[in-house]
Homo-oligomer: A and B are copies of this chain.
Amino acid sequence: MSAKLKSNKKRNTRVVKDARTMKPPFVLFLGNVQDPLAAKSTTGLLYWRRKDCIGQVRMSDCQVPIDLPSIDLAEAVRLGAKTFVIGVTNHGGKLGPSWKPYILKAINYGLDIASGLHDRLSDVPELVAAANKTGARLLDLRHTDIPIPKATGLKRQGRRLLTLGTDCACGKKFTALAITRDMKSRGINCTFRATGQTGIMISGEGFALDTIIGDYIAGAAELLSPSNEPNHWDVIEGQGSILHPSHAGVPLSLLHGSQPDAFVLCHEPTRLHMLGITYPIPSIAAVREATEYMGRLTNPNIRCVGISVNTSAFQGDISQLKQQLSKEHNVPVIDPVIDGTNEIIDYMHSIGLLTE
Protein backbone atom coordinates (compact mmCIF):
# COMPACT_ATOMS: atom_id res chain seq x y z
CA MET A 1 0.00 0.00 0.00
CA SER A 2 1.08 3.57 -0.32
CA ALA A 3 1.95 5.17 2.96
CA LYS A 4 1.98 8.61 1.39
CA LEU A 5 -1.32 8.23 -0.39
CA LYS A 6 -3.00 7.39 2.84
CA SER A 7 -1.60 10.27 4.82
CA ASN A 8 -2.96 12.83 2.40
CA LYS A 9 -6.45 11.53 1.82
CA LYS A 10 -9.49 13.51 2.87
CA ARG A 11 -7.61 16.78 2.56
CA ASN A 12 -9.02 19.89 0.98
CA THR A 13 -9.39 19.33 -2.76
CA ARG A 14 -7.97 22.72 -3.67
CA VAL A 15 -4.62 21.67 -2.22
CA VAL A 16 -2.20 20.83 -5.01
CA LYS A 17 0.51 18.23 -4.42
CA ASP A 18 2.07 18.29 -7.86
CA ALA A 19 5.07 20.61 -7.67
CA ARG A 20 5.16 20.93 -11.46
CA THR A 21 2.26 23.33 -11.16
CA MET A 22 4.24 26.03 -9.29
CA LYS A 23 3.74 28.81 -11.84
CA PRO A 24 6.39 31.52 -12.45
CA PRO A 25 7.15 34.34 -11.91
CA PHE A 26 7.67 34.09 -8.17
CA VAL A 27 7.64 36.47 -5.24
CA LEU A 28 9.98 35.09 -2.58
CA PHE A 29 8.90 35.42 1.05
CA LEU A 30 11.71 35.44 3.61
CA GLY A 31 9.61 35.89 6.74
CA ASN A 32 11.74 36.70 9.75
CA VAL A 33 14.53 34.26 8.91
CA GLN A 34 17.74 34.79 10.93
CA ASP A 35 20.07 32.12 9.55
CA PRO A 36 21.33 31.90 5.93
CA LEU A 37 20.98 28.08 6.02
CA ALA A 38 17.26 28.53 6.69
CA ALA A 39 16.98 30.67 3.57
CA LYS A 40 18.31 27.92 1.29
CA SER A 41 15.07 27.58 -0.69
CA THR A 42 15.33 31.27 -1.55
CA THR A 43 19.02 31.21 -2.44
CA GLY A 44 18.49 28.00 -4.42
CA LEU A 45 15.67 29.49 -6.48
CA LEU A 46 17.65 32.67 -6.95
CA TYR A 47 20.69 30.80 -8.26
CA TRP A 48 18.93 28.28 -10.48
CA ARG A 49 15.76 30.14 -11.57
CA ARG A 50 16.81 33.78 -11.27
CA LYS A 51 14.75 34.95 -14.24
CA ASP A 52 11.58 33.60 -12.60
CA CYS A 53 12.14 35.58 -9.37
CA ILE A 54 10.76 39.12 -9.57
CA GLY A 55 11.13 40.30 -5.99
CA GLN A 56 11.22 39.55 -2.29
CA VAL A 57 8.92 40.24 0.62
CA ARG A 58 10.52 40.20 4.08
CA MET A 59 9.56 41.06 7.62
CA SER A 60 11.37 43.93 9.37
CA ASP A 61 13.42 41.59 11.62
CA CYS A 62 14.66 39.36 8.78
CA GLN A 63 18.47 39.11 9.11
CA VAL A 64 19.51 37.43 5.86
CA PRO A 65 20.49 39.72 2.98
CA ILE A 66 19.07 38.58 -0.38
CA ASP A 67 20.09 40.15 -3.69
CA LEU A 68 16.59 40.76 -5.04
CA PRO A 69 14.47 43.94 -4.98
CA SER A 70 12.00 44.26 -2.13
CA ILE A 71 8.61 44.41 -3.71
CA ASP A 72 5.11 45.43 -2.81
CA LEU A 73 2.49 42.75 -3.58
CA ALA A 74 0.36 45.10 -5.72
CA GLU A 75 3.42 45.85 -7.83
CA ALA A 76 4.35 42.16 -8.01
CA VAL A 77 0.91 41.34 -9.36
CA ARG A 78 1.22 44.16 -11.93
CA LEU A 79 4.54 42.62 -12.99
CA GLY A 80 2.77 39.31 -13.56
CA ALA A 81 3.67 37.40 -10.37
CA LYS A 82 1.83 34.08 -10.12
CA THR A 83 3.22 32.40 -6.99
CA PHE A 84 4.15 33.59 -3.50
CA VAL A 85 6.91 31.18 -2.50
CA ILE A 86 7.68 30.64 1.19
CA GLY A 87 11.45 30.61 0.77
CA VAL A 88 12.23 29.58 4.33
CA THR A 89 13.28 26.14 5.55
CA ASN A 90 13.54 26.53 9.28
CA HIS A 91 14.31 23.81 11.81
CA GLY A 92 11.35 21.49 12.02
CA GLY A 93 9.67 22.94 8.92
CA LYS A 94 7.24 25.00 11.01
CA LEU A 95 4.91 27.61 9.52
CA GLY A 96 5.73 30.77 11.51
CA PRO A 97 2.55 32.18 13.13
CA SER A 98 3.71 35.74 12.34
CA TRP A 99 3.83 34.93 8.62
CA LYS A 100 0.09 34.37 8.36
CA PRO A 101 -0.90 38.01 7.57
CA TYR A 102 1.63 38.07 4.70
CA ILE A 103 0.36 34.79 3.28
CA LEU A 104 -3.26 35.89 3.63
CA LYS A 105 -2.47 39.12 1.82
CA ALA A 106 -0.85 37.20 -1.04
CA ILE A 107 -3.87 34.89 -1.22
CA ASN A 108 -6.13 37.91 -1.34
CA TYR A 109 -4.11 39.20 -4.30
CA GLY A 110 -4.95 35.90 -5.99
CA LEU A 111 -1.40 34.53 -5.84
CA ASP A 112 -0.79 30.81 -5.42
CA ILE A 113 1.15 29.96 -2.26
CA ALA A 114 3.99 27.42 -2.46
CA SER A 115 5.55 25.95 0.66
CA GLY A 116 8.29 23.41 1.28
CA LEU A 117 7.59 23.25 5.03
CA HIS A 118 6.61 20.16 6.98
CA ASP A 119 3.59 22.07 8.29
CA ARG A 120 0.92 22.12 5.62
CA LEU A 121 -0.78 25.26 4.40
CA SER A 122 -3.81 23.04 3.92
CA ASP A 123 -3.91 22.38 7.68
CA VAL A 124 -4.59 26.08 8.40
CA PRO A 125 -8.37 26.62 8.04
CA GLU A 126 -7.94 30.40 7.67
CA LEU A 127 -5.65 29.99 4.66
CA VAL A 128 -7.88 27.34 3.10
CA ALA A 129 -10.95 29.56 3.53
CA ALA A 130 -9.20 32.56 1.95
CA ALA A 131 -7.86 30.44 -0.93
CA ASN A 132 -11.33 29.06 -1.58
CA LYS A 133 -12.58 32.65 -1.94
CA THR A 134 -9.92 33.96 -4.32
CA GLY A 135 -9.12 30.79 -6.26
CA ALA A 136 -5.51 30.81 -5.09
CA ARG A 137 -3.94 27.37 -4.82
CA LEU A 138 -2.05 26.07 -1.78
CA LEU A 139 0.97 24.00 -2.86
CA ASP A 140 2.43 21.85 -0.08
CA LEU A 141 5.43 20.74 -2.10
CA ARG A 142 7.02 18.62 0.61
CA HIS A 143 4.08 16.23 0.53
CA THR A 144 2.86 14.04 -2.29
CA ASP A 145 -0.19 12.05 -3.24
CA ILE A 146 1.71 9.76 -5.59
CA PRO A 147 1.48 6.13 -4.37
CA ILE A 148 4.93 4.83 -3.43
CA PRO A 149 5.54 1.07 -3.68
CA LYS A 150 8.14 -0.93 -1.75
CA ALA A 151 11.50 -1.16 -3.52
CA THR A 152 12.27 -4.32 -5.50
CA GLY A 153 16.02 -3.85 -5.90
CA LEU A 154 15.64 -4.95 -9.56
CA LYS A 155 18.16 -3.53 -12.03
CA ARG A 156 16.73 -0.71 -14.15
CA GLN A 157 17.94 0.42 -17.55
CA GLY A 158 19.77 3.76 -17.81
CA ARG A 159 22.60 5.18 -15.68
CA ARG A 160 22.47 6.95 -12.34
CA LEU A 161 24.70 9.32 -10.40
CA LEU A 162 24.02 10.11 -6.74
CA THR A 163 25.56 12.87 -4.63
CA LEU A 164 26.39 11.96 -1.02
CA GLY A 165 28.03 13.87 1.77
CA THR A 166 30.06 13.85 4.93
CA ASP A 167 27.17 15.79 6.52
CA CYS A 168 23.81 17.46 5.81
CA ALA A 169 23.79 20.81 3.99
CA CYS A 170 27.23 20.60 2.39
CA GLY A 171 26.42 20.95 -1.32
CA LYS A 172 24.68 17.77 -2.50
CA LYS A 173 21.77 19.53 -4.21
CA PHE A 174 23.97 22.21 -5.78
CA THR A 175 26.46 19.63 -7.04
CA ALA A 176 23.72 17.50 -8.62
CA LEU A 177 22.18 20.56 -10.30
CA ALA A 178 25.59 21.70 -11.56
CA ILE A 179 26.42 18.25 -12.96
CA THR A 180 23.03 18.17 -14.70
CA ARG A 181 23.60 21.63 -16.19
CA ASP A 182 27.12 20.74 -17.35
CA MET A 183 26.09 17.35 -18.75
CA LYS A 184 23.25 19.01 -20.66
CA SER A 185 25.57 21.63 -22.11
CA ARG A 186 27.66 18.75 -23.50
CA GLY A 187 24.60 17.11 -25.04
CA ILE A 188 24.40 14.29 -22.50
CA ASN A 189 20.88 12.95 -22.00
CA CYS A 190 20.21 13.54 -18.30
CA THR A 191 17.66 14.59 -15.67
CA PHE A 192 18.07 16.14 -12.23
CA ARG A 193 16.07 14.21 -9.60
CA ALA A 194 15.06 16.15 -6.48
CA THR A 195 14.78 14.54 -3.04
CA GLY A 196 14.17 17.67 -0.95
CA GLN A 197 11.87 20.66 -0.95
CA THR A 198 14.25 23.17 -2.55
CA GLY A 199 15.21 20.75 -5.32
CA ILE A 200 11.50 20.20 -5.99
CA MET A 201 10.93 23.96 -6.21
CA ILE A 202 13.82 24.30 -8.66
CA SER A 203 13.10 21.30 -10.87
CA GLY A 204 9.33 21.04 -10.51
CA GLU A 205 9.23 17.38 -9.48
CA GLY A 206 10.59 14.83 -7.04
CA PHE A 207 9.90 13.54 -3.54
CA ALA A 208 10.89 15.12 -0.22
CA LEU A 209 12.35 11.99 1.39
CA ASP A 210 12.16 13.49 4.86
CA THR A 211 8.38 13.14 4.86
CA ILE A 212 8.33 9.49 3.82
CA ILE A 213 7.87 6.49 6.10
CA GLY A 214 11.14 4.51 6.50
CA ASP A 215 9.99 1.37 4.68
CA TYR A 216 9.13 3.34 1.53
CA ILE A 217 12.21 5.54 1.01
CA ALA A 218 14.05 3.07 -1.21
CA GLY A 219 10.79 2.65 -3.16
CA ALA A 220 10.55 6.43 -3.61
CA ALA A 221 14.14 6.45 -4.92
CA GLU A 222 13.25 3.72 -7.41
CA LEU A 223 10.18 5.65 -8.55
CA LEU A 224 12.25 8.83 -8.82
CA SER A 225 14.78 7.36 -11.24
CA PRO A 226 12.79 4.92 -13.36
CA SER A 227 14.02 2.71 -16.18
CA ASN A 228 15.23 4.90 -19.03
CA GLU A 229 17.23 4.88 -22.26
CA PRO A 230 20.57 3.07 -21.84
CA ASN A 231 22.62 6.27 -22.18
CA HIS A 232 20.34 8.46 -20.03
CA TRP A 233 21.70 9.69 -16.69
CA ASP A 234 19.60 10.47 -13.66
CA VAL A 235 21.54 12.88 -11.46
CA ILE A 236 20.02 12.31 -8.03
CA GLU A 237 20.20 14.80 -5.17
CA GLY A 238 21.54 13.06 -2.06
CA GLN A 239 20.32 13.60 1.50
CA GLY A 240 22.14 13.61 4.83
CA SER A 241 25.13 11.41 5.53
CA ILE A 242 25.38 7.64 5.68
CA LEU A 243 27.54 8.12 8.81
CA HIS A 244 25.18 10.55 10.61
CA PRO A 245 23.69 8.80 13.68
CA SER A 246 20.42 10.75 13.50
CA HIS A 247 19.33 9.73 10.02
CA ALA A 248 21.81 7.44 8.20
CA GLY A 249 18.94 5.12 7.26
CA VAL A 250 17.57 7.75 4.87
CA PRO A 251 20.73 8.06 2.71
CA LEU A 252 21.18 4.27 2.87
CA SER A 253 17.67 3.73 1.47
CA LEU A 254 18.30 6.41 -1.16
CA LEU A 255 21.57 4.67 -2.07
CA HIS A 256 19.86 1.29 -2.41
CA GLY A 257 16.91 2.63 -4.40
CA SER A 258 19.09 4.79 -6.68
CA GLN A 259 21.46 1.89 -7.45
CA PRO A 260 23.99 4.47 -8.67
CA ASP A 261 26.74 3.64 -11.15
CA ALA A 262 28.61 6.71 -9.94
CA PHE A 263 28.62 8.89 -6.86
CA VAL A 264 30.12 12.24 -5.99
CA LEU A 265 31.07 12.94 -2.38
CA CYS A 266 30.26 16.41 -1.06
CA HIS A 267 32.25 17.94 1.79
CA GLU A 268 32.46 21.19 3.72
CA PRO A 269 36.12 21.40 4.80
CA THR A 270 35.71 23.89 7.66
CA ARG A 271 32.98 22.10 9.57
CA LEU A 272 34.04 20.31 12.74
CA HIS A 273 30.84 18.60 13.84
CA MET A 274 27.91 17.11 11.99
CA LEU A 275 24.90 19.40 12.02
CA GLY A 276 22.69 19.12 15.09
CA ILE A 277 24.90 16.71 17.03
CA THR A 278 28.25 16.50 18.81
CA TYR A 279 29.81 13.88 16.48
CA PRO A 280 32.86 15.00 14.50
CA ILE A 281 32.56 15.16 10.70
CA PRO A 282 33.54 11.73 9.35
CA SER A 283 36.47 11.51 6.97
CA ILE A 284 35.86 11.52 3.22
CA ALA A 285 37.57 8.13 3.08
CA ALA A 286 35.20 6.68 5.69
CA VAL A 287 32.07 7.92 3.89
CA ARG A 288 33.41 6.73 0.53
CA GLU A 289 34.21 3.28 1.91
CA ALA A 290 30.81 2.92 3.66
CA THR A 291 29.02 4.06 0.49
CA GLU A 292 30.82 1.56 -1.71
CA TYR A 293 30.43 -1.20 0.87
CA MET A 294 26.67 -0.74 1.35
CA GLY A 295 25.96 0.43 -2.23
CA ARG A 296 27.26 -2.79 -3.81
CA LEU A 297 24.05 -4.54 -2.72
CA THR A 298 22.03 -3.00 -5.56
CA ASN A 299 24.90 -2.02 -7.88
CA PRO A 300 28.11 -4.06 -7.63
CA ASN A 301 29.83 -1.59 -10.00
CA ILE A 302 29.22 1.53 -7.90
CA ARG A 303 32.22 3.88 -7.91
CA CYS A 304 33.25 7.28 -6.71
CA VAL A 305 33.80 9.70 -9.61
CA GLY A 306 34.65 12.89 -7.76
CA ILE A 307 34.67 15.01 -4.64
CA SER A 308 32.77 18.28 -4.46
CA VAL A 309 34.05 20.72 -1.85
CA ASN A 310 32.05 23.67 -0.63
CA THR A 311 34.81 26.25 0.00
CA SER A 312 32.52 29.21 0.73
CA ALA A 313 33.80 29.41 4.32
CA PHE A 314 37.32 28.08 3.66
CA GLN A 315 40.10 30.57 4.48
CA GLY A 316 43.13 28.67 3.15
CA ASP A 317 44.53 27.99 -0.32
CA ILE A 318 41.68 26.41 -2.28
CA SER A 319 43.90 25.06 -5.07
CA GLN A 320 46.14 23.37 -2.56
CA LEU A 321 43.15 21.86 -0.75
CA LYS A 322 41.79 20.42 -3.99
CA GLN A 323 45.18 19.08 -5.08
CA GLN A 324 45.73 17.44 -1.73
CA LEU A 325 42.28 15.79 -1.69
CA SER A 326 42.64 14.69 -5.30
CA LYS A 327 46.00 13.08 -4.59
CA GLU A 328 44.62 11.41 -1.47
CA HIS A 329 41.45 10.04 -3.07
CA ASN A 330 42.51 9.64 -6.70
CA VAL A 331 39.43 11.33 -8.21
CA PRO A 332 38.82 14.89 -9.43
CA VAL A 333 38.04 17.46 -6.74
CA ILE A 334 36.01 20.56 -7.63
CA ASP A 335 34.12 23.40 -6.02
CA PRO A 336 31.06 23.40 -8.27
CA VAL A 337 30.35 27.10 -7.66
CA ILE A 338 33.85 28.11 -8.76
CA ASP A 339 34.85 25.37 -11.18
CA GLY A 340 31.65 23.83 -12.50
CA THR A 341 31.73 20.05 -12.78
CA ASN A 342 33.35 19.39 -16.15
CA GLU A 343 36.37 17.78 -14.54
CA ILE A 344 34.09 15.12 -13.05
CA ILE A 345 32.34 14.58 -16.38
CA ASP A 346 35.74 14.29 -18.12
CA TYR A 347 36.78 11.74 -15.53
CA MET A 348 33.59 9.71 -16.08
CA HIS A 349 34.47 9.79 -19.77
CA SER A 350 38.02 8.64 -19.13
CA ILE A 351 36.94 5.60 -17.12
CA GLY A 352 34.35 4.57 -19.72
CA LEU A 353 31.23 5.48 -17.72
CA LEU A 354 30.28 8.11 -20.30
CA THR A 355 30.38 7.63 -24.04
CA GLU A 356 29.29 11.01 -25.39
Task: Please state if B215 and A213 are interface contacts (CB–CB under 8 Å).
Answer: no
A61 CB to closest chain B CB, in angstroms? 22
Q: Does A1 sit at the interface, judged by CB under 8 A? A: yes
Task: Please state if A245 and B151 are interface contacts (CB–CB under 8 Å).
Answer: yes
Q: A interface, how many residues as a size bin?
A: 35 or more
A240 nearest in chain B by CB position:
B215
Oligomeric state, in copies = 2
Q: Does A47 sit at the interface, judged by CB under 8 A? A: no
Select one of B93, B253, B277 contacting A214, CB under 8 A.
Answer: B253
Among A153, A246, A251, find the residue whose CB has the most chain B CB atoms closer than 10 A: A246
A165 CB to closest chain B CB, in angstroms? 15
Q: Does A178 sit at the interface, judged by CB under 8 A? A: no
Task: Please state if B250 and A256 are interface contacts (CB–CB under 8 Å).
Answer: no
A7 CB to closest chain B CB, in angstroms? 7
Interface residues of A in 175-213 (CB under 8 A from B): 209-213
A151 nearest in chain B by CB position:
B246
Task: Please state if A217 and B249 are interface contacts (CB–CB under 8 Å).
Answer: yes
Task: Please state if A7 and B6 are interface contacts (CB–CB under 8 Å).
Answer: no
**A294 to B93, alpha carbons, bound, how many Å?**
29
A221 CB to closest chain B CB, in angstroms? 10
Interface string of A260-284 (1 = CB under 8 A from B): 0000000000000000111100000
Q: A7-B7, A153-B279, A210-B215 in contact; A249/B250 too (CB < 8 A)?
A: yes
Binding site for B on A (CB under 8 A): 1, 3, 6-7, 92-94, 118-119, 150-154, 209-215, 217-219, 243, 245-253, 256-257, 276-279, 290, 293-294, 297-298
